[in-house]
Structure 1
Amino acid sequence: MDATQADAYLRRLGAEYPAWPTVDALRELHLRHLRRVPFENLSVHLGEEIVLEEKRLLDKVVGARRGGFCYELNGLFGALLAALGYEVTLLAARVYGDGGRLGIPYDHLALLVRTVDGGDWLADVGFGAHSHGPLAFAERGEQEDPGGTFRVAEAGPDAAGVRGDHDSVRTADLDVLHDGKPVYRLEPRPRVLGDFVSGAWWHSTSPESHFVRSPVCSRVTEDGGRITLSGRRLTSTTADGRREERVPGTDEEVLAAYREHFGIVLDRVPAVRHR
């Protein structure tokens, strides 16, 4: 990502170019991303190809002012952070499903980010309802966040944990928990964006993927709540837990909801595609 592309991305986020790749700057960029760039799977239901290449992702997220799911959002955010001077490692994760069953390999993409002043951080702007800020990667206690209480924990009795030397090889799988419930299992081995192509294909085509069952578009609101359009149901939740729902009656009202709440301009309503 060159300087011109990074500048355009920062404008998309409403952010200034950070003077240094610090943890405070990372926190601000992380939160702005969650507020400005929605988590969405609309390409799956619009018949659009999902291509995990930086130029194509820039065209979609920055040029077309769209969102995406984890591979797109975290993949592109990682490229931005690297352009801003952060040391970024792409990590693969498997998401916990019903009954505690782990999902497919390359089920999720998250970011390990090293700052100049605050060690290593787990950044994730592509999971939907998750932490509003990056999590301290080496911390094993509870971490309070506007999105809930999070913890990064060793995944099992054979997990050696993260070694004290920040430059040593990380070998142990780690579980990320949200309010005491396991969310996903990280494999702390460096990956590249191309490793996730099979996961993106599975999630956009498999009948077992929840992404093919309904269009969804969601972002964090300025007050710390969340607004989500799932199918044709628009749900707004405030930071203190108050919830409102409504169902737009016409296609025009659905398209207006995409424009007004997510900044996404579409010429037709995404519809579940039968495979």
Structure 2
Amino acid sequence: MTSAEMHVDTYLSRIGFTGASSLSLHVLRSVHTCHLLSVPFENLTVHSGGRVELDLPHLYQKIVKQRRGGFCFENNGLFSWLLSTLGFQVTLLSAQVKSQLTGFYGPPCDHLIIMVSLDGHRWLCDVGFGVPGFKAPLSLESSGPQEQGHRVYRIRKHITGMHFLEWQREENRGVDGDWAEIYKFTLEPRLMEDFAEMCLYHQSSPCSIFFCKSLCTVLTAGGRLTYIGRRLTCITFPTERTELETTTRELQDEEIPGVLAEKFGVVLNSPLIPKDETITPPAVMY
């Protein structure tokens, strides 16, 4: 399958995008948000007897035709193909995620992200990250705060050329707030095959969350829904009149397939083995 053979209308229908697909910032923002609201960030293939493959036609079948999701290499890999097919100028980038367990970063190509150049302006896109992820593209031309609902992000640039994506978690206290690093990256162009080794690592290493925990999460209109192991967590984002609300319930093994189908639209071809093991700190820290 080549770009010309991608069924763009089918893809856009899968993510709930309606309207003309013009080459504009409005469309870029819209398809980015629609993708996050429709395609889960999940690693259930790893925990149901399968292996993640980065072949784009395979990803199209999985995410678009089978209505599944994937982790960063899958969701962002396929999304970059959609953007390119729509006519956007796309560059794949390598990011290194900061571990909440160790306080260090993952290795290069730990995470796949996308840069889009449009009308002389560069935008960071990421539809494959999960809970801390941003809803709409972030400007790479600004180092100041970029608000998205109750959250605020910024891209701090270092003299070495390294960029740091930061946020203030589920709050916004302005420029002087408490900024936490999410991941770091450079603007060096990458190819899909550059991520093959780390894709295998995340499926097989006890140092990776994707190997240690079965998970599925999706953005909702007012918050986020997350399944991990044998737990289902619903987060409702704060509004002017309400605070952040989190509810969690324990699941029995026999409930999980129904929950995945009803809440996330995910139906697996093979039985899922729920997993929620402790992550082993890696020997090498970055």
Give the distance between the partners of 1:197 and 1:68, measured in 2 at CA: 15
After TM superposition, give the deviation of residue 178 of structure 1 in Å.
Answer: 1.4
Partner of 2:221: 222
Distance in 2, matches of 1:4 and 1:89, equals 19
Q: Distance in 1 between matches of 2:199 and 2:19?
A: 31
Tell me how far apart the structure 1 counterparts of residues 71 and 98 of structure 2 sit (CA, whole Å).
Answer: 17
Provide the C-alpha distance between the structure 2 equivalents of 1:270 and 1:6, rounded to a whole number of angstroms.
Answer: 34
1:144 matched to 2:147? The reply is yes
Structure 1 runs (4+) greater than 4 angstroms displaced: none
* Distance in 2 separating the partners of 1:175 and 1:54: 28
**Following superposition of structure 1 onto structure 2, how do residues 256-271 of structure 1 map, counting pairs within 5 Å?**
256-266=258-268, 267-271=270-274
Tell me what 1:187 maps to: 186
Alignment partners' CA distance in 1, 2:53 and 2:272: 22
The one-character-per-residue Cα deviations of 1:22-75 (angstroms, maximum 9, x if unpaired) are: 111111111111110000011111121211111011011011110000000001
1:74 aligned residue: 76
TM superposition shift of 1:16: 2.7
Q: Distance in 2 between matches of 1:213 and 1:76?
A: 25
- Residues in 1 aligned to 2:204 and 2:106: alpha-carbon distance in whole angstroms: 15
* Number of the residue aligned with 2:108: 105
Shift in Å, 1:139: 0.6
Unaligned runs of 5+ in 2: 169-178, 239-243, 278-286
Contact 2:230 2:251 in 1 (8 A): yes
Q: Deviations over 1:194-245 (max 9, x none)?
A: 110011011111111111111000000122x000011110000111111111
Distance 1:66 1:231 in 2: 18
Percentage of matched positions with identical amino acids: 36
1:178 to 167, 173, 188: 167
Matched AA of 1:188: L
Higher mean C-alpha displacement, 225-234 vs 8-17: 8-17
**Alignment partners' CA distance in 2, 1:99 and 1:208:** 11
- What is the letter of the counterpart of residue 76 of structure 2? N
32, 35, 42: which one aligns with 2:34: 32
* Cα root mean square deviation, aligned: 1.8
* Displacement after TM superposition at 1:2 (Å): 2.6
| TM-score calculated relative to the size of structure 2 | 0.85
- The equivalent of 1:238 in structure 2 is 236
- Are residue 199 (structure 1) and residue 188 (structure 2) matched? no
Asked if the contact 2:217–2:225 (Cα under 8 Å) also holds between the matched residues in 1, the reply is yes
97-106 vs 48-57, greater mean Cα deviation: 97-106
For residues 253 and 211 of structure 2, the distance between their equivalents in structure 1, rounded to whole angstroms, comes to 22
Shift of 1:248: 2.3
Aligned length: 257
Q: Deviation string for 1:122-168 (max 9, x for gaps)? A: 0000000211111001111011113621111113xx42xxxxxxxxx
